[in-house]
Amino acid sequence: MPVFDFGDWPPGEVRRPGFRILATMCYPKNSLRRHELHAALLAEYYLRVSEDPAAWSRPPSSEDLRPLLKARHEGRSFKEVVRTTRDTNQKGVLAGAVLLMIRWVSAHGHQGSVLKACYIHAELAKRAKAIKGTAVTLGLTEITHSTTQGTLEKAWSPYKTVAHFWAAYNVMRNRYMERDAEGVIVPPLDRWFEDTDAFLEFLAIAEDFRRFGESYIPRPAAEPVLAAHSTWRVPEHVHLPALGLFEPPPLPPEILDALKSYRA
């Protein structure tokens, strides 16, 4: 099975955008898109701080900058790269939410499956749209597909090999969200990619979801939700912290309603 590419992690003393681990999660199969995103973010950052050497521990040399500028010259515009990345980010988060939903409903005695989880998310999006609202995943990302087939084809199928990482992403964002003085949810900063302990916790959660997905076989299927030969995994030499039992909260009314209306 594939081993997850950590890229430039762990970061050094100076934080910088463009960690390849993020690009890998957005583009699990397309190496050109991974390199394009990495080059776009780094080139933009280098140019932004080029007049302020204090903003960088080591000012970029021509050897650093030349290949990045070449990549930016030959690639798409920065805005288009970022827009595409945001779109794929939403699809990846939704793929993780599907895996999370399968585990969530099965933990409460319901039969879980990919189609059922896709249906639930599509129903949440459809019902929210009917009242001019917005449905979001547990990780506070908008659910953009309001059909089961669209969720299956646009989110789950292309990102299922890394869905366990996106499931962990949903869990971590939900865990660290806060509310302001008026009680409005404030999305958290994704700082676990910079903090070593939090990042290892993120990886441990992802591995826990991988093991679940590779062992859970929904009836009447004959194969588990995740295929062991194609699902990305954390290298064995990485020592991850121990986790407690997976204890999801009770299913909210809107998910229970969607479960009642589901027809296989």
CA–CA separation, 264 vs 258, rounded Å?
12
Is 81 in contact with 39 (CB distance < 8 Å)?
no
- Per-residue DSSP letter, 229: T
Tell whether the model's pLDDT for residue 119 goes beyond 80: yes
CA–CA separation, 174 vs 165, rounded Å?
14
Tokens of 126: 């459809």
Q: 254-264 pLDDT, tens per residue?
A: 999 999 999 87
Q: 61-74 pLDDT, tens per residue?
A: 677 677 777 777 77
The closest of 254, 261, 4 to 137, measured between CA atoms, is 254
Give me the mean pLDDT over the 81-93 stretch. 89
Confidence band of 112 (pLDDT split at 50, 70, 90): very high
Q: 154-185 pLDDT, tens per residue?
A: 999 999 999 999 999 999 888 877 767 776 66
The closest of 173, 18, 167, 23 to 85, measured between CA atoms, is 23
Tell whether the model's pLDDT for residue 12 goes beyond 80: no
